[in-house]
């Protein structure tokens, strides 16, 4: 059972009024960025009958007349709007994830998500680069494949390396964990401990061509080996956003969800109901598009040079 600290009797905001006023101005700049590009702001429900199946993301369940889930992102509902012909859209909203608390995490957080037709993920990287230059006054971003970044920092290619080779690489760097036969486990361990803290310190860095096993809701390109049409962007060692050239094949998406659910069962994690409305929308037809989700609270942290999310939100989880 997930538990959180008992709230203290502290009515004061965790961010001071000056920070909150600057945060509001950042929101206004974000909305202007999309307005001039004719990207429409939308709203979708925070509660849904279905939930994300990713074994690494845990939804908050709400008991009403029937079980519902607070959304970990507005992705599924926004894609239903795309399938209905809404065109390029964006949304700024709250999202919720269990077991995420720390300097860079809050169980309730603000997310910016946008979808562009008929972009692929490289087109969206171009636009996101302009977004970061405008909102954070960054220099033009760098780009690098996942294979090249692993070779640079660890002298190993994660696409071709065996599980044993990745495990040895981790243990050589004193990352000692019990035996694990999941290649993605070793990829994530090496990346988070040995690579991520060093990324994007001078300018933002886009990483792309992730292993196909980490495609999630992205298309897979038939390279040798296949790679996911996905990117992440890092600045000052912080992951800011995750983007896809969106998968439009409903049968393939269902297959991936079912694989996730098997993994959740093995790990003893609750298996939520599939979002059948989302899958039905994909079956109807998703236009060729790319989408990206960005953590607004982290963006504001970077913009205002703060050290913790609690410094840039009105009330953190313990004081909510």
Task: Return the CATH number at 89.
Answer: 3.30.930.10
Beta-strand pair 238-245/227-235: antiparallel
| Span 38-97, pLDDT tens digits | 999 999 999 999 999 999 899 999 988 888 999 999 999 999 999 999 999 999 999 999
Count Cα atoms within 13 angstroms, Cβ side, for 206.
24
Asked if residue 90 belongs to a domain, the reply is yes
- Give the contacts of 123 (CB within 8 A, at least 6 positions apart): 116, 290
Beta-strand pair 227-235/40-41: unpaired
Asked if residue 45 belongs to a domain, the reply is yes
Tell me the residue range of the domain where 307 lies: 17-140+273-319
Asked if residue 135 belongs to a domain, the reply is yes
pLDDT confidence band for 278 (50 / 70 / 90): very high
Closest by CA to 319, choosing from 112, 111, 108, is 108
Asked if residue 145 belongs to a domain, the reply is no
Asked if residue 80 belongs to a domain, the reply is yes
pLDDT at 99: 74
Asked if residue 23 belongs to a domain, the reply is yes
Asked if residue 50 belongs to a domain, the reply is yes
- Evaluate if residue 16 carries a pLDDT over 70: yes
For residue 190, what are its two tokens? 């090496």
Average pLDDT over residues 266-291: 95
Asked if residue 120 belongs to a domain, the reply is yes
Q: Is the pTM of this model over 0.75?
A: yes
Beta-strand pair 142-145/108-116: unpaired
pLDDT at 63: 83
- Give the contacts of 142 (CB within 8 A, at least 6 positions apart): 200, 203, 204, 205, 206
pLDDT at 67: 85
Backbone angles phi, psi at 15, to 5 degrees: -110, 145
Return the DSSP state at 212: G
> How many folded domains does the chain comprise?
1
């Amino acid at each position: 059972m997930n538990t959180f600290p008992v709230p203290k009797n502290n009515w004061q905001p965790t961010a001071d009024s000056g920070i909150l006023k600057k945060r509001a101005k950042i929101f206004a700049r974000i909305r202007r960025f999309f307005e001039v590009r004719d990207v429409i702001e939308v709203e979708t429900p925070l509660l849904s009958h279905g939930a994300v199946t990713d074994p690494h993301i845990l939804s908050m369940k709400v008991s009403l007349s029937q079980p519902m889930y607070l959304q970990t992102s507005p992705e599924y509902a926004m894609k239903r709007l795309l399938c209905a012909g809404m065109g390029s859209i964006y949304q700024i909203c709250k999202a919720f994830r269990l077991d995420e608390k720390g300097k860079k995490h809050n169980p309730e957080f603000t997310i910016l998500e946008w979808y562009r037709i008929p972009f692929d993920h490289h087109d969206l990287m171009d636009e996101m680069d302009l977004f970061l230059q405008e909102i954070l006054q960054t220099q033009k971003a760098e780009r690098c494949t996942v294979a090249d970044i692993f070779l640079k920092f660890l002298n190993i290619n994660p696409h071709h390396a065996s599980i044993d080779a990745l495990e040895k690489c981790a243990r050589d760097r004193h990352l000692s964990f019990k035996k694990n036969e999941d290649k993605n486990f070793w990829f994530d361990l090496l990346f988070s401990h040995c690579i991520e803290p060093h990324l994007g310190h001078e300018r933002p860095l886009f990483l792309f061509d992730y292993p196909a096993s980490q495609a999630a809701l992205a298309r897979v390109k038939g390279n040798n080996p296949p790679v996911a049409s996905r990117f992440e962007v890092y600045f000052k060692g912080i992951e800011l956003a995750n983007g896809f050239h969106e998968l439009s094949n409903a049968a393939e998406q269902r297959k991936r969800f079912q694989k996730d659910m098997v993994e959740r069962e093995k790990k003893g994690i609750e298996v939520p109901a599939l979002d059948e409305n989302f899958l039905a929308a994909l079956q109807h037809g998703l236009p060729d598009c790319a989408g990206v989700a960005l953590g607004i609270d982290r963006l504001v942290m970077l913009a205002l040079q703060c050290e913790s999310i609690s410094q840039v939100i009105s009330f953190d989880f313990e004081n909510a």
